[in-house]
A and B are shown apart, each in its own frame.
Chain A
């Protein structure tokens, strides 16, 4: 049976459809669900096997990116917490990563509090470009399994500077190899060049770059694309989630 994937939307979510398409292509049964449908009780997250927070500007990114969405989720934090604890795959891309950080689900911590942030890029504004990323092979992250040491993905964000204030939290994150992905050339000023982090089970993963935008060879800038294999680096992230859930 195809694993059911909940693609969470809200006002201002805007990478939902391509994320939906990507999950569908690798064999999941995705469904777009608005946070209002969860808040009203019409839908329940625990009815799904995979969860994705797509990119966008949820609630305009007002106050700070992902903050208002995180506030709306707080009433349902028990359900979200149970989903993660159950080791069902959770993927937060860009704004989705910002939401996971602002809710305190990433980095994983006992208090379930926000212990890190994604702050305004050093350049001071939104930046969209292709970058090279290093994959941490020692990381428990299930999404990055089978990827080469180095991949390319586009970034597109204004607030991607990853900061952890508490040195102990950072040391632990590094010691447990939870920094699953780092920038080769840091585009935003992130500490330790961190581009994506996971929890200790490797099932909850947030990253700033967009794997759904390098899902197929022809989305990559290199031309012509027709001669290359269709599946590109981003494909693996989604495939891994479905394989794990299925």
Chain B
């Protein structure tokens, strides 16, 4: 095989593909041909290090070729072509909205929006996935996932201080009966490992993990999804970074080892049995904490001109990115190593964790060294950014890479992908009558893994470190109610205890809807995220969102069709809600072979992470009922359909219709409710989502230790809506509000003309009693309901 490497420019197609497979580059035939063509022009053979660098730089993980590539979408008889799907949907919405409070979008390691009142701070926010490593080694995969996204925040601008971590997981059902292929871990083991990994890394970093979600579906049995996010505060005058020719290349934090070879190409390939062991690492949170402590101090003293994290591709990507204009001169023999059995090209591309690259003016190195030593943080000076646009990497006398930067960052060849609309049969007739009582269904539903309490995960996270988690993931009288969003008061970053500015963070996620209608899924997901922000009293007119797509193989036109529809949905929802995307990431090839050898893909999965400012965190509200006698209102119209609902997962529903979201009406409603919350009229708010209205009411009641007398006759509803859909349907744009007694007149004035109707009152007696005119739907003790809900998942 070495011979083939030496004759690279004269290999035929088959030999190229063989070479690619041997070295695990995951380059396509088209890409290989392009590399061959370019080296053909230079008149010499590439070195191993050069080919590895190109494989990393051009990988799906680094370049996002699928989402940013051309697509031909066929729906019925119509064809629509995209040159760059991502730019023509997600980015387009952001450009059109052109919000002046967006400080940095899609260019840096994270998106940045304005934070607080005085224009001094920016809020950086980013989420990404770490799916394949978590399938192979759940604990280490989750740890390094958290570590990676935290480094994105440390590496945005000149470095932001992380103040919140988020985590969203998708697993197969813990009691799944599906036979697993050899080498697959059970969902129970994956979940335990992932939770412990996020816990041990996040807790040691001193960053509160305070917002997230947990979703079970057998579609994730072989390919769990692990979304990790981080938000941080950055002074606005530290957002711009620029490498100055002559700057030193300084690596700080962890050492480089063989443990990090081939992560980037790994995440672009399907998981199979011979997945290389070296692709998985165990995290070292303490090293990353030292790096954080050094960076924050050095940033404030202005000791470097630019910074970025070592993620996929290691030094090759980080130095390649920082030096894309200046070039870079790297001496690998200066690197701090974990082991001596490492090849020079391996040092160059190793993805060993917990490393950051700084661009340091020579005369400031001494001061930086003082801080590094004071914090016991290891570092090395790897070379310089010369300004000649050339990438020259050596190890002693050996030349590892010698290329113009333009070679790496020039046009990656891309080919048009075929996309078609998936055919799904929709039944929108009346639902099948259930064999159980409504109360029985509600109790089963409260215990459903996608509805029940998440306390056994949340309480393992230090979700209040930094003393700023003012609206907590667990809320209510007993500190165990399910919150809609977290609100962070970043006192540990601003050091200002008299500034009550904060921000809310939450998520939307609904792959069950995506199986039926990916376009509506995207709308519903954005809607859910905005509604969650509204429930804590955030200023939703300044919502900023992140998209994280996970999908199966893009070689499948139906998978691409799902993606196109969901991306179009993202665009339309962003425009309607005035909520720009500020950053995004995608992960493909989330499929594997099952025990019988058949392909087992995940459903299209779109996580929307959302943030909005909270002007005065002291006024933020929670979801539990607060006081007996207060009236309860339902905002929004109850609409038909059980498609994508938890009910549909539990029972034979006979209806899989998904109610289309009326976005304009929703926005009008939310802005009015937002005013009512700001005016202090609303004391509790909770969205209607998974499990429907019955679950929302039950959660508000038992989290407050109070009952409620509910009469739904006055609730706005679509014609033909039956009690089953009323209680358990998951039509969007609805929320339940508890209004402070004595402020009803003011409240009603603020929501005049909108579908906001009184549906009863909070009751001292611990019973939830729900009627619909003549029909008594159910009556149950709130503690009995809570017992069903409060399951130990771990």
Contacts and interface: CB of A to CB of B under 8 A. Distances in A.
Contact between A and B in the complex (any CB pair below 8 Å): yes
Interface of A: 11-15, 17-18, 21-22, 25, 34, 36-37, 55-57, 59-61, 125-130, 154, 156, 210, 212-213, 215-219, 221, 223-226
Contacts of A154: 464
Given A130-B479, A212-B467, A223-B622, A156 B495 contact: no
B286 interface: yes
B286 A125 contact: no
A230 B674 CA distance: 25
B286 A18 contact: no
Contact of A127 (B373, B460, B617): B460
A17 B492 contact: yes
A15 B374 contact: no
Which 3 A-B pairs give the minimum distances between C-beta atoms? A14-B206, A18-B467, A226-B618
Contact of B466 (A17, A22, A224): A17
Contact of B289 (A11, A36, A210, A221): A11
Nearest to B617: A218
Given A15-B466, A21-B467, A156-B464, 16 more contacts: A11-B375, A14-B466, A21-B495, A36-B374, A57-B203, A57-B285, A125-B196, A126-B199, A129-B479, A130-B479, A213-B467, A216-B497, A219-B467, A221-B476, A224-B619, A226-B616
A18 B163 CA distance: 12
Interface in B459-498: 459-472, 474-476, 479, 489, 491-492, 495, 497
Contacts of A36: 373-376
Given A15-B206, A60-B204, A226-B618, A215 B467 contact: yes
A34 B492 contact: no
A223 B617 CA distance: 11
Given A12-B286, A14-B205, A21-B491, A126 B472 contact: no
A223 B492 contact: no
B759 interface: no
B636 to A, nearest CB: 23
Contacts of A217: 618
13 contacts: A12-B289, A17-B466, A18-B492, A21-B497, A34-B375, A57-B203, A57-B285, A60-B285, A128-B460, A156-B464, A218-B470, A218-B617, A221-B474
B374 A37 contact: yes
Given A15-B206, A18-B466, A18-B491, A128 B289 contact: no
A130 B467 CA distance: 13
A62 to B, nearest CB: 8
B607 interface: no
A226 B199 contact: no
B620 A223 contact: yes
B110 to A, nearest CB: 21
A25 B497 contact: yes
Contacts, number: 122
Interface residues of B, number: 49
Contacts of A129: 459, 474, 479
Contacts of B289: 11-12, 14
A225 B618 contact: yes
B258 interface: no
A16 B91 CA distance: 40
A11 B284 CA distance: 12
B93 interface: no
A156 B460 contact: no
A21 B470 contact: no
Majority SS at the chain B contact face: mixed
Contacts of A219: 464, 467, 469-470
Nearest to A214: B467
A22 B460 CA distance: 25
Contacts of B463: 128
A17 B495 contact: yes
Contacts of B621: 223-224
A170 to B, nearest CB: 29
A125 B458 CA distance: 12
Given A56-B206, A210-B464, A223-B622, A128 B617 contact: no
B162 to A, nearest CB: 11
B683 interface: yes
A18 B461 CA distance: 18
A213 B683 CA distance: 23
Interface in B640-691: 680, 683
A128 B285 contact: no
A218 B489 contact: yes
Contacts of B470: 218-219, 225
B165 to A, nearest CB: 13
B262 interface: no
Interface in B279-305: 285-286, 289-290
Contacts of B491: 17-18, 21
A21 B476 contact: no
Contact of A128 (B464, B471, B500): B464
A11 B378 CA distance: 13
A126 B476 contact: no
A79 B117 CA distance: 45
Contacts of B205: 14
A126 B373 CA distance: 31
Interface centre among A60, A215, A223 (most CB of B within 10 A): A223
A39 B489 CA distance: 35
Contacts of A226: 616, 618-619
B465 A15 contact: yes
A212 B465 CA distance: 10
A166 B492 CA distance: 41
A36 B474 CA distance: 38
Contact of A156 (B285, B462, B472, B619): B462
B204 A224 contact: no
Nearest to B498: A25
A61 B196 CA distance: 15
A103 B398 CA distance: 52
A219 B718 CA distance: 42
B620 A59 contact: no
B492 A221 contact: no
A34 B289 CA distance: 14
Contacts of B622: 221, 223
A219 B479 CA distance: 13
A61 B289 CA distance: 13
A224 B618 contact: yes
Nearest to A127: B459
Contacts of A59: 286
Nearest to B495: A21
Nearest to A226: B618
Contact of A57 (B204, B374, B376, B620): B204
A12 B204 contact: yes
Nearest to B466: A18
A59 B290 CA distance: 10
Contacts of B467: 15, 18, 21-22, 210, 212-213, 215, 219
A210 B208 CA distance: 14
Nearest to A152: B479
B376 to A, nearest CB: 6
A14 B464 CA distance: 12
Interface in B366-381: 373-376
Interface string B198-226: 01000111100000000000000000000
Contacts of A13: 206
Contacts of B500: 218
Interface centre among B204, B621, B680 (most CB of A within 10 A): B204
